[in-house]
Structure 1
């Protein structure tokens, strides 16, 4: 398995449990981030729709306010210098209210009207066109409130858009990088542990076969070719495949033992059982 697609860990039971625990934690975090992204998307859609409606209302209100201002200029003449000279304490202030939207800190702007502030222009236009001056003041006051609301919604939409992009990057990183790496690491550990188990099983079979072969050779050399009661009992307890292999090995060893004392007339030794005639089931391992 490619090491770039998994974490560099040792194949052990402890690391297997650790990988499973990490996968559970990553899966839980993935679900939380996905839920957060959905909540931010929902709130972002609501804020965007409200922002579009507020923008339309703001355009209409500003148009009406500037029409009222044009009417005042037509009635009373140019009054910008008079207004600028009498600017005093602000009658409308902006209050910042912190909000938390699915873990994203935002600020909501709310207009607050100062009731104790002195209106230095409350008698402006009293001689002529006073009602138009009052209408213009009211229109611009309403436009200011809508403008503050528009700024608050626009700021919220910008923050939510950045938070949604950041959350989606985290979700995609977990889904496309971290979770596949954890799964590949778990698969690698399982494969290595299975391979070690097979190697250990094969080693135990080889050791067992070697012990049985040594025991059979010792029994043959001790009895001179005959079988004792212990050998009969061992033969009965052995599997059929091991019995065939032991008989073949016994015949070869017995023939080699008898070859030292006598041989046939031609002087050629022919064993009873050849290794190339063994079946796969006759192998001790």
Structure 2
């Protein structure tokens, strides 16, 4: 109410407020549409993330089973020696892309799958079980990179949805109602002023008529 008392009850102020309400309502609709689109995009990517997580869990299980079999066959010491001769994996490059106005990561990386020669360890000192274990862990890396990209995208979309939701609610429940209440207040004050002017004018006419 204190804010209403500070408003000048003029027709110019009334017109300005009405224009601001129209703009606020347009902005509210645009933000609401953006929020709905973000939510749809979020759940589309969320389904992909769930699928990737299930695949990753399965691949990790297979990879650890494979490395256990290789360890049983070659022994822990020999397996460690082979692992030390493995060449580093290819590097990944983290870029950015735009999803519904939100900047999200895009990981550029070739598949981590390699041949035994590319891995760097010697055939004679290794075995087929080591190759299998290596393949399984390379599959894990491929999925992990993809999942990291998707889950970070989800985090950023969720944050943007929350920010957009707060703006939508602020416009819908605070800003627009407050401006509409101010418009109502100005209209009431203008009506009161018109009535006061009418009675004042009527009184002046009555005084003039009495003197005549």
TM-score for both structures, normalised by structure 2:
0.88
**Deviation readout 1:6-59 (Å, 9 max, x if unpaired):** 473101111011101111111111111111111111111112111111111001
Name the counterpart of 1:159: 156
Q: Could you tell me whether the CA contact under 8 Å between 1:107 and 1:152 is conserved in 2?
A: yes
Name the counterpart of 2:186: 189
Corresponding position: 1:209 with 2:212: no
Matches within 5 A, 1:170-249: 170-215=167-212
Name the counterpart of 2:141: 144
- Please report how far the alpha carbon of residue 68 of structure 1 lies from its aligned counterpart in structure 2 after TM superposition: 1.4
Corresponding position: 1:119 with 2:118: yes
SS at match of 1:10: coil
Name the counterpart of 1:85: 84
- Please report how far the alpha carbon of residue 128 of structure 1 lies from its aligned counterpart in structure 2 after TM superposition: 6.0
**Deviation readout 1:112-134 (Å, 9 max, x if unpaired):** 2489xx8353534x3663x3222
1:45–1:204 distance in 2 versus 1, CA, 3 Å = same
Structure with the higher helix share, 1 or 2: 2
Instruction: Give every structure 1 segment of 4 or more consecutive aligned residues whose post-TM-superposition deviation is greater than 3 Å.
Output: none
Q: Could you tell me whether the CA contact under 8 Å between 1:104 and 1:163 is conserved in 2?
A: yes
CA RMSD of aligned residues (A): 2.4
**Deviation readout 1:91-112 (Å, 9 max, x if unpaired):** x322213122222211122432
Structure 1, unaligned runs of 5 or more: 216-285
Q: Could you tell me whether the CA contact under 8 Å between 1:95 and 1:109 is conserved in 2?
A: yes
**Number of paired residues?**
210
Greater Cα shift, 68-77 or 170-179: 68-77
Q: Partners of 1:32 and 1:81 in 2: how far apart?
A: 59
Name the counterpart of 1:28: 26
Structure number with greater Rg is 1
- Please report how far the alpha carbon of residue 193 of structure 1 lies from its aligned counterpart in structure 2 after TM superposition: 0.9
Name the counterpart of 1:237: none
Q: Could you tell me whether the CA contact under 8 Å between 2:60 and 2:140 is conserved in 1?
A: yes
TM-score for both structures, normalised by structure 1:
0.67
Q: Could you tell me whether the CA contact under 8 Å between 1:110 and 1:149 is conserved in 2?
A: no
1:55–1:120 distance in 2 versus 1, CA, 3 Å = closer
1:163–1:16 distance in 2 versus 1, CA, 3 Å = same
Tell which has more relative contact order, 1 or 2 (C-alpha 8 A, sep 6+).
2
